[in-house]
Amino acid sequence: MTTQKGAQRRQRRRISGEIEDRIAVLAQREPRWSAGQIYEQLLLEYDEKKLKSPPPSKRTVERIVKEWRGVDLTGPWNLYTAAPEDVPLVLPVLAAVINWTQGAITSLTNGEARIIANIRSVAPDFGLVDSFLWARLYRRRIENNEPTDDFDAYLSYAPWRDENRRALYRKAVEQGWVREVPRAFILHHENGEITTTNVF
25-37 per-position pLDDT tens digit: 788 778 788 999 9
In DSSP notation, the chain reads ---HHHHHHHHHHTS-HHHHHHHHHHHHH-TTS-HHHHHHHHHHHHHTTSSSS----HHHHHHHHHHHT---TT-B--TTTS-TTTHHHHHHHHHHHHHHTTTS----BHHHHHHHHHHHHH-TTS-HHHHHHHHHHHHHHHHTT---HHHHHHHHH-TTS-HHHHHHHHHHHHTTSSPPPPGGG-EEEETTEEEE----
Give residue 187's pLDDT band: very low, low, confident or very high (50, 70, 90). low
pLDDT at residue 84 above 90?
yes
pLDDT at residue 139 above 90?
no
Give the end-to-end CA distance of the chain in Å, rounded to a whole number: 41
What's the pTM value of the predicted model, to 2 decimals? Answer: 0.72
Residues in a beta bridge with 187 = 196
| pLDDT on residue 184 | 66
Per-residue pLDDT of 49-81, as tens digits, reads 888 888 889 999 998 888 777 777 789 999 999
Per-residue pLDDT of 104-133, as tens digits, reads 889 999 999 999 999 999 999 998 988 998
Are the C-beta atoms of 153 and 178 separated by less than 8 Å? yes
| pLDDT on residue 16 | 73
Query: How many residues can be counted in the chain?
Result: 200
Domain edges within the chain: 1-70, 74-200
Give residue 199's pLDDT band: very low, low, confident or very high (50, 70, 90). very low
pLDDT at residue 19 above 80?
yes
pLDDT at residue 2 above 60?
no
Per-residue pLDDT of 146-162, as tens digits, reads 899 999 999 999 998 99
Give residue 13's pLDDT band: very low, low, confident or very high (50, 70, 90). very low
Q: Is 27 exposed, middle or buried (0-12, 13-18, 19+ CB in 10 A)?
A: buried
